[in-house]
Amino acid sequence: MGNDDNRRRKTPCGCCMSVFKWIPVLFIFAVIGWSYYAYVVELCVLNTENRVAMIFMLFFYHITLILFLWSYWKTISTSVGRVPDHWRIPDEEVNHLFRADNPETQKRILNNFARNLPVTNRTMNGSVRFCDKCKIIKPDRSHHCSVCSCCVLKMDHHCPWVNNCVNFFNYKFFVLFLGYALIYCLYVAFTTLHDFIQFWQTENQLSEQGQLNGSGMGRFHILFLFFISIMFAISLVSLFGYHIYLVLVNRTTLESFRAPVFRIGGPDKNGYNLGRYANFCEVFGDDWQYWFLPIFTSFGDGISYPIRHLEEDTESLLGYHSDTRIELEEDFLTEGRFQDSIIP
C-alpha cells in the first residue's frame, strides 16, 4: 500500500470516508432485516392459517436466507490479498526509474527487475506493468484500487454494496451472493404474490381466507415486500447473468472493457479462456459438492494463471478460425501475465 494512501486514511477526513463507505452495506442489512420481519411475522405467522404451508414456507425461506447471508458476508470480509514482498521494487531502483530520462530506460529497468517473476502481461508499449503507488511490479490481472488503496489480485471491480474489491479470493463468493440474492428475491416475490393479488381484489375489506389480519401496517409490509423483491430481482438478474458469462469465458469486468496485453500476441480478451468447464472450475473448483457453498475452492494463488498454449491454436491452421492470440509455452513457464501502463 502506498504511503500517500496510508496518510490519507489516518486523517479525520479519511476516517469519515471509511465510515461513509459502510452505508450501502448497512442499507442492505437493514432491508434484509425488514424483509425478515415482513415475511416471517407479518406474512407467515400472522396471516397464514395453514400451518403445514407455513412450515414449508419458513423452511425454504431460511435455507435461502442463510446461503444468501453467508455468501454476502464472505464477499465483504474476504481480504483482497497481498502481493508478495519480492514483487516490490527497492527504493534505489524506484529512484532510478523515476529519474529515467525516457520511456525506453524505464522499460529496461522494469523488464530487468521482473525477469525472474511470473509475468506475461505488458503495457501497450511492451513494458512490465508497474504501480507507482505501491512501488511493485503488478502480477497478472491485478490492478491498483484507489478505494482499497492497494493492488488487488485479479481485480474484477470495486463494489460499494460489499465495501470491498471483487477479486481472486472472493469472486466465487460474489457470484454466489448474486445468485442467492436473486433466488431469495424470487422466492419472496412468488410466495407473496397470492396475498398481493388478493389485496387488490378486496381493497376495502378483509379477506376471509386469512391472508391478511386486517392491520393497515401488516398490509403495508406485505405489499412493499412484494414490490421491493421484484425490484431487486430485476436488477440482479442481468448482473448475475453477466458474471456467469464472465466466469464461462474466464474474463474479469475490467478485462471485458480493456483486453489484457500479452508479451507475445498483444491484446487478447480470450487469452485466459480455457474452455467453459475449465473456466468454471478455475473459479468454483473441481469438486461439485462445494460449487454452491461459499467455501473457497478456486484454483491458483492469485499470481499466475493458466493461458492458452501454442498447440491449441493449431486448430486454426487445420481449418478452424480462431481470433485468440496465443502465449508461447516457454513464456508461460518463465513469466506470468500483466496489464495497464508502466506507471498508472
* Residues with active-site annotation: 159
Alpha carbons 104 and 110: distance in angstroms, whole number: 10
Contact 244, 79 (CB under 8 A): no
Alpha carbons 9 and 303: distance in angstroms, whole number: 27
Q: Would you state the cell numbers that stand for residue 289, as one nine-digit string?
A: 459438492
Question: Which of 82, 267, 254 is CA-nearest to residue 156?
Answer: 254
Q: Would you state the cell numbers that stand for residue 322, as one nine-digit string?
A: 480462431
Reported as type and span, the H/E element at residue 343 is none
Residue 267, C-beta contacts closer than 8 angstroms, at least 6 positions apart: 124, 259, 260, 261
**Letter string b/e over residues 209-242, b meaning 16 or more CB atoms within 10 A of that residue's CB:** eebbeeeeebbebbbebbebbbebbeebeeebee
State how beta strands 266-267 and 261-262 pair. antiparallel
Q: Would you state the cell numbers that stand for residue 45, as one nine-digit string?
A: 405467522
